[in-house]
Structure 1
Amino acid sequence: MRILQLISISLLTMFILMKLNVININLKYNILHYLLNASLLLTFFSIIFPLVSYIKLKRMDVNKTQFLNDILGEIDPNQNVEIFITDKFMKNNAAVLYRRNQPVIVCGDGLVNSFSREQLKFLIAHEYYHIKKNHMLKNILSFIFVLAGVPILLLTISPYLISLTSLFTTLIISFILYVSSFILHFVFSQRRELSADRFASSFVGKKCAKETLSILQKQKLVPEKSYNLFETHPSIKKRIENIS
């Protein structure tokens, strides 16, 4: 995260200086505009988001517990991820937050009291896999690429498309490409959730994994929507089918 912070600040500084004509580089105004937006988003996610997450952890009054540490140790004895329990805010959830620029797992006490040890292992392994594979960073970079990278790409190729077809056709193609990139962002995000479920089920077995997901659904601990194309998480039904 520190490396990403240095990169984001450096890029933001450079693009601001270019915007103010302090640095003169032959770059189209629209492209510079999107590059500046991308660096702003990257700076927000790499600096502001961990800071907000740290403040949130402070307000949660999180505590360590040997019980959860033991479960995490069974998943990966060589890991150095911290895990905490809280009785405030996200009482019935487990999530990855940031503490001093390091990802940590936070479990609500309601979750700990409602699930068996093996079911908790599934939930913790799911969150740990997100940390292990840098899924949060991948989601952030993917989102920034959709908001800034794709428009830059379209601005670059649109003159060639217009010369080959027409302005109307170019607009249609650009619209389809932009919407498709948004859809792909959510598709890949959902795939990461499914891969985390498969990883977690390898520690507890398919039966326990399905039972855990079913409890999440029955107790409405995970928000369910009938239409989840533009959601970062797939439906519980799809997650259960993925484990089968």
Structure 2
Amino acid sequence: MKILQLISISLLTMFILMKLNVININLKYHILHYLLNASLLLTFFSIIFPLVSYIKLKRMNVNKTQFLNDILREIDPNQNVEIFITDKFMKNNAAVLYRRNQPVIVCGDGLVNSLSREQLKFLIAHEYYHIKKNHMLKNILSFIFVLAGVPILLLTISPYLISLTSLFTTLIISFILYVSSFTLHFVFSQRRELSADRFASSFVGKECAKETLSILQEQKLVPEKSYSLFETHPSIKKRIENIS
């Protein structure tokens, strides 16, 4: 995270100086605009988000428990991830947050009290896999690419497309490409969730994994939407089918 913070600040500084004409590099105005937006988003996610996450952890009054640490050690004895329990804000949920630029797992006490040890192991393994595979960073970079990278690409190729076809056709192609890239962002985000489920089920078995997801659905411990194409998480039904 520290390397990403250094990169984001350096890029943001450079693009601001270019915007103010302090640094003169021959870039089109619109491309510079999107590059500046990308660096702003990267700075927000690499610096502001961990800071807000740290403040949120403070307000949650989180505590360590040997019980959850033991479960995490069973999943990976060599990991150095911290895990906490809280009775505030996210009582019925589990998530990855940041503490001093390091990802940590936080479990709500309502969730801990609602599930068995093996069911908790499934959820903890799921969150640990996100940390292990840097899924949060991948989602952030993917989102920034859709918001800034794709428009830059379209601005670059649009003059060539117009020369080959027409303005109307170019607009249609650009629209399709942008919507497709936006859709792919959510598709890959959901795939990461499904891969985390498969990883977690390898520790507890498929039946326990499906049972855990069913409990989350029945007790409404996770938000569930009937249409999940533009959601970062797939539906519980799809997650259960993925494990089967």
The TM-score bracket by the shorter chain reads: over 0.9
Alpha-carbon distance, 1:9 to partner: 0.1
Aligned-pair CA distance for 1:219: 0.4
After TM superposition, list the pairs within 5 Å mapping 1:115-154 onto structure 2: 115-154=115-154
Q: Which residue of 1 aligns with 2:49?
A: 49
The sequence identity of aligned pairs, in percent, is: 96
Q: Look up the match of 1:174.
A: 174
**Tell me, what secondary structure is at the counterpart of 1:149?**
helix
Q: Distance in 2 between matches of 1:207 and 1:143?
A: 34
Give the number of equivalent residue pairs: 244
CA displacement, residues 211-232 of structure 1 (integer Å, 9 cap, x when unaligned): 0000000001111111111000
Aligned partner of 1:60 in structure 2 is 60
> 1:21 offset after TM fit, Å?
0.5
Structure 2 alignment gaps of length 5 or more: none
Partner residue in 2 for 1:207? 207
- Partner secondary structure for residue 78 of structure 2: coil
Aligned residue for 1:129, secondary structure, equals helix
Corresponding residue for 2:188?
188
User: What 5-or-longer segments of structure 1 have no aligned partner?
Assistant: none
Deviations 1:144-202 (A, max 9, x none): 00000000000000000000000000000000000000000000000000000000000
* More off after superposition, 222-231 vs 27-36: 222-231
Mean alpha-carbon deviation: is it higher for 220-229 or for 31-40?
220-229
Whole-Å separation in 2 of the counterparts to 1:99 and 1:34:
30
Query: Separation in 2 of the partners of 1:221 and 1:174?
Result: 40
Give the deviation of 1:12 after TM superposition: 0.1
* RMSD value, Cα: 0.3
**Which position in structure 2 is the counterpart of 1:18?**
18
How far does residue 141 in structure 1 lie from its aligned partner after superposition? 0.3
Shift of 1:101: 0.2
Distance 1:132 1:101 in 2: 15
How many angstroms apart in 1 are the aligned matches of 2:33 and 2:60? 38
**Residue matched to 2:33:** 33
Segments ≥4 residues shifted beyond 4 Å: none
Instruction: Return the alpha-carbon distance in structure 1 between the equivalents of residues 200 and 5 of structure 2.
Output: 30
Distance between the aligned counterparts of 2:225 and 2:112, measured in 1? Answer: 25
| 1:82-116 deviation digits (Å, cap 9, x = unpaired) | 00000111001000000000000000001111100
| Residue 120 (structure 1) shift | 0.1
Three-state SS of the structure 2 residue aligned to 1:77 is coil
Give the 3-state SS of the residue equivalent to 1:98 in structure 2: strand
